[in-house]
C-alpha cells in the first residue's frame, strides 16, 4: 500500500512540476511577444512623431525642390536628340490604327517610309519638351503647403498625378503647335495628314462606295482607317505629355526610395522621415 502511495505521489509531483515548467515557458514567450509588440509600437510612434515634427514649410520646400529636379531631369533627357526615340519607356510608336498598314508597307519594301514616320513623331515630341519647363515650374511655385503634405504622404506617383490634374490642359496648348509645325516640316507626316483629312471628309461616301468595295475584294479593307481615327498631331501631343509625366514620376520615385538621390540636407531631412 505504501509503495502504491509513494508511486502515485511521484507521478502527481512529476506532472505538477512539468506543468509548472510549461507555464514558465509559455509565460516567457508571452512576455517576449509583449516586448516585441511594444518595440514595434514605439518604432511606429517614433516614426509618426518624426513626421509630425517636421515643419510644414520644410515639407513644402523639399517637395518643390524635388519636383523641380524631376522636371529638369525630364526636360533635359527628352529634349535631346533621340530623347523619345531611343528610350523604351517613352518611345512613340505608330498609332494602333496604322500598325496593320505599316506592316503591309514593310512587306512591300516601304520600311524606310514607316521608319521615317516614326522618327518624325518622336522628333516632334523632342522639340516640344524643352518648352514645357516653365509650365511645370509655374505649377510647382503655386503648390500649397497642404498640397505638399498630401503628395509627400501619398503613393510614389502622387506628384505626377497632381501635375496631370493641374498642367495637362496648358501643356497641350503649348505642345500642340510645336508638334504641328514639326510634323508639317516632314513630308511623310504631311502625306499622312493629307490622306487622313481626305478620308475623313469623304467618310460617308467611302464607307459605301467603290473604294471600300474594291479594298474588300483585294482583302485590304482592314487597312483602311476608320472615320474616328485620332488625328496624328493630337496623338503625338498626348504621347509627348505622357513621356514627360513618366520621366518626372521616375525621378520622384528615385528620390523617395533611394537616399543617395537626396542631394541636399533638406531633401534628406524631409524624405528621410517618410
Instruction: Please answer whether residues 255 and 271 qualify as being in contact, where contact means their C-beta atoms are separated by less than 8 angstroms.
Output: yes
User: Which triple of cell numbers denotes residue 173?
Assistant: 496648348
- Please indicate whether residue 97 or residue 20 has the higher confidence score (pLDDT): 97
Quick: pLDDT tens for 59-82.
888 888 888 988 999 999 999 999
Mean pLDDT of 110-127: 86
**Lowest-confidence region among 127-136, 187-196, 198-207, 213-222:** 213-222
CB–CB of 127/81 below 8 Å?
A: no
CA neighbor of 252 nearest in space, from 125, 48, 68: 68
Dist. CA 74–CA 244, nearest whole Å: 6
Q: Is the pLDDT reported for residue 38 higher than 70?
A: no
Domain ranges of the chain: 1-53, 55-271
Q: Which of 63-72, 75-84, 112-121, 261-270 has the highest mean pLDDT?
A: 75-84
The pLDDT, as a whole number, for residue 8 is 42
Q: CA–CA separation, 214 vs 206, rounded Å?
A: 11
* Angle, in degrees to the nearest 10, between helices 158-184 and 111-128: 120
How much of the chain, in percent, has pLDDT values that exceed 90? 24
Residue among 37, 116, 46, 127 at smallest CA distance from 82 = 127
- pLDDT at residue 108 tops 70: no
- Report residue 175 as a C-alpha cell: 505642345
Q: How is 98-136 classified by DSSP, letter by letter?
A: HHHHHHHHHHTT-HHHHHHHHHHHHHHHHHHGGGGHHHH
* Sign of CA pseudo-dihedral 147, 148, 151, 154: negative
pLDDT recorded at residue 61 = 86
Sign of CA dihedral 243, 261, 268, 155: positive
Nearest Cα neighbor of 244 from 151, 121, 86, 126 is 126
Q: Which three cell numbers stand for residue 257?
A: 526610395
Amino acid at each position: 500500500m505504501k509503495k502504491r502511495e509513494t508511486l502515485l505521489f511521484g507521478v502527481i509531483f512529476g506532472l505538477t512540476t512539468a506543468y509548472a515548467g510549461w507555464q514558465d515557458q509559455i509565460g516567457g514567450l508571452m512576455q517576449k511577444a509583449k516586448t516585441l509588440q511594444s518595440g514595434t509600437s514605439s518604432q511606429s510612434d517614433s516614426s509618426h512623431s518624426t513626421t509630425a515634427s517636421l515643419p510644414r514649410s520644410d515639407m513644402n520646400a523639399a517637395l518643390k525642390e524635388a519636383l523641380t529636379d524631376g522636371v529638369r531631369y525630364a526636360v533635359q533627357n527628352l529634349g535631346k536628340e533621340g530623347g523619345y526615340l531611343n528610350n523604351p519607356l517613352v518611345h512613340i510608336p505608330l498609332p494602333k490604327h496604322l500598325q496593320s498598314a505599316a506592316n503591309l508597307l514593310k512587306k512591300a519594301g516601304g520600311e524606310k517610309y514607316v521608319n521615317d514616320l516614326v522618327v518624325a513623331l518622336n522628333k516632334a515630341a523632342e522639340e516640344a519638351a524643352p518648352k514645357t519647363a516653365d509650365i511645370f515650374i509655374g505649377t510647382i511655385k503655386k503648390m500649397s503647403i497642404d498640397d505638399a503634405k498630401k503628395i509627400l504622404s501619398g503613393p510614389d506617383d502622387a506628384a505626377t498625378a497632381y501635375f496631370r490634374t493641374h498642367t495637362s490642359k496648358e501643356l497641350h496648348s503649348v505642345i500642340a503647335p510645336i508638334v504641328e509645325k514639326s510634323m508639317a516640316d516632314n513630308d511623310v507626316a504631311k502625306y499622312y495628314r493629307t490622306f487622313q483629312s481626305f478620308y475623313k471628309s469623304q467618310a460617308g461616301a467611302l464607307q459605301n462606295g467603290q473604294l471600300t468595295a474594291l479594298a474588300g475584294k483585294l482583302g485590304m479593307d482592314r487597312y483602311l482607317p476608320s472615320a474616328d481615327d485620332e488625328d496624328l498631331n493630337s496623338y503625338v501631343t498626348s504621347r509627348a505629355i505622357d513621356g514627360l509625366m513618366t520621366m518626372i514620376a521616375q525621378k520622384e520615385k528615385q528620390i523617395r526610395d533611394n537616399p543617395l538621390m537626396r542631394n541636399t540636407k533638406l531633401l534628406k531631412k524631409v524624405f528621410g522621415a517618410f
